[in-house]
């Protein structure tokens, strides 16, 4: 199986030993407490599950700035984006050597992790702007990722962590949430050697489904891991339980047995386009995928990024040899009326726009909200039914 990034073995930060876990939970109640941001909580969950291996905790300011500029820490460790615990108010933990991090996304704010505090550093506006510009390629406060990143606070609390909980992800999505450790184990149990991963924050329509089949065929893969984001999205995106149900129905009906896994991970979407695409590839290698599909405007939002920036960054900016996972570069896929099948649009040069079945997101939402299924060339009827039920429930 493919090795994790930067290490021979995966290094999850979740405390699995029951006695040690219990002791840490007891200790956490005696420690100075701090309520962290949703983004920091997502970082802790990802480190806990081994997705961000070999990181041992939250980065200090020097490492975060170095990663933003060069995708390497000051010690040379490759990582695509700063992994920070940014706070507005640190008075409750000032001078503390060890603290408990509380979860902002669950009722009662349970302890998420215990941290050994190595530094509490003020972050200047100029430093925040540098990191924002490098990671998001814009300083526009209307960009949802920029707004979330800059809304956390101006103190970076760094140090190694021991993760004690996977937030609401494990509780709310017991059949879907999986750690990198668990996915690696299941891949091994299934006997897969070549595995392609597909990232999604949306339901999968026919074009997505066929893109996955295309990638599996062309790469000669044994299996597909559909890996959906279960964390916070922007307003208007379809909730995770609805996406989960629609994707499971599609796999059940249109994929061969033992050819596809439906899984999810706990993290808030950054909408950072190219940089987030590299992060997505990073943790897909850690979960055991040998290949990863990246299409047009991967992890983008609005018009902030070029259509293929998330592909070219791997050639232009990612340090050579930093990752072993291979990228499957995909163009927009759509149903061809001429060929009566889904194709990559770049592979049909004799087609005009009118030769494809193309529907805007707005048009699809209008149809679903009116109880009208999109045409079968766009969406499987069984998937459309789940989505129609959701949109009609909003009325």
Catalytic annotation, residues = 201-202
Q: From CA 110, how far away is CA 50, in angstroms rounded?
A: 21
Helices 125-136 and 274-286: crossing angle in degrees, nearest 10, is 80
For residue 345, give Cα distances in angstroms to 143, 274, 291, 322: 29, 21, 21, 31
Around Cβ 87, how many Cβ atoms within 10 Å?
Answer: 22
Residue 179 DSSP SS3: coil
State whether the Cα torsion 265-268-271-275 is positive or negative.
negative
Residue 356 host element (H or E): strand 356-357
Burial-class residue 257 by CB neighbours within 10 Å (0-12, 13-18, 19+): exposed
Dihedral angle at the C-alpha atoms of 197, 200, 203, 205, nearest 10 degrees?
-60
Q: From CA 333, how far away is CA 390, in angstroms rounded?
A: 25
Residue 240 host element (H or E): helix 240-254
Residue 214 DSSP SS3: helix
Q: From CA 100, how far away is CA 115, in angstroms rounded?
A: 6
Residue 283 DSSP SS3: helix
Contacts of 395 (CB under 8 A, 6+ apart): 369
Q: Provide the token pair at 135.
A: 């990671």
Nearest to 249 by CA among 210, 207, 205: 205
For residue 68, give Cα distances in angstroms to 18, 92, 311, 352, 388: 37, 29, 18, 41, 42
């Amino acid at each position: 199986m493919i090795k994790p990034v930067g290490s021979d073995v995966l290094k999850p930060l979740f405390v699995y030993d029951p006695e040690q876990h219990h002791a840490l939970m007891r200790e956490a109640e005696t420690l100075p407490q701090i309520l962290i941001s949703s983004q920091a909580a997502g970082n802790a969950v990802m480190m806990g599950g081994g997705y961000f291996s070999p990181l041992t905790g939250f980065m200090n300011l020097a490492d975060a700035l170095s990663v933003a500029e060069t995708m390497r820490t000051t010690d040379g460790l490759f990582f695509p984006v700063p992994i920070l615990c940014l706070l507005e108010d640190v008075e409750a933990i000032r001078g503390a050597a060890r603290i408990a991090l509380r979860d902002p996304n669950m009722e009662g704010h349970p302890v998420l992790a215990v941290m050994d505090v190595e530094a509490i550093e003020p972050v200047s506006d100029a430093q925040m702007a540098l990191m924002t510009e490098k990671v998001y390629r814009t300083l526009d406060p209307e960009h949802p990722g920029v707004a979330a990143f800059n809304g956390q606070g101006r103190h970076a609390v760094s140090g190694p962590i021991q993760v004690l909980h996977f937030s609401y992800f494990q509780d709310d999505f017991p059949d879907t949430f999986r750690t990198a450790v668990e996915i690696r184990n299941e891949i091994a149990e299934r006997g897969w050697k070549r595995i392609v991963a597909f990232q999604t924050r949306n339901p999968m329509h026919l074009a997505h489904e066929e893109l996955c089949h295309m990638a599996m065929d062309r790469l000669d893969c044994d299996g597909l891991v559909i890996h959906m984001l279960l964390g916070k999205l922007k307003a208007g995106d379809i909730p995770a339980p609805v996406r989960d149900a629609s994707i499971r129905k599609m796999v059940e009906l249109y994929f061969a047995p033992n050819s596809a896994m439906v899984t999810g991970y706990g993290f808030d979407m950054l909408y950072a386009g190219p940089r987030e695409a590299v992060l997505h590839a990073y943790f897909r290698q850690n979960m055991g995928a040998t290949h990863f599909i990246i299409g047009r405007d991967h992890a983008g939002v609005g018009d902030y990024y070029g259509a293929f920036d998330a592909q070219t960054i791997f050639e232009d900016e990612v340090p050579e040899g930093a990752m072993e996972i291979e990228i499957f570069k995909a163009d927009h896929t759509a149903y061809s009326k001429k060929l009566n099948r889904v194709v990559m649009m770049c592979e049909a040069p004799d087609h005009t726009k009118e030769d494809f079945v193309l529907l805007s997101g707005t048009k699809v939402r209008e149809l679903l909200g009116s109880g009208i299924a999109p045409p079968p060339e766009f969406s499987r009827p069984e998937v459309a039914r789940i989505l129609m039920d959701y949109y009609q429930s909003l009325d």
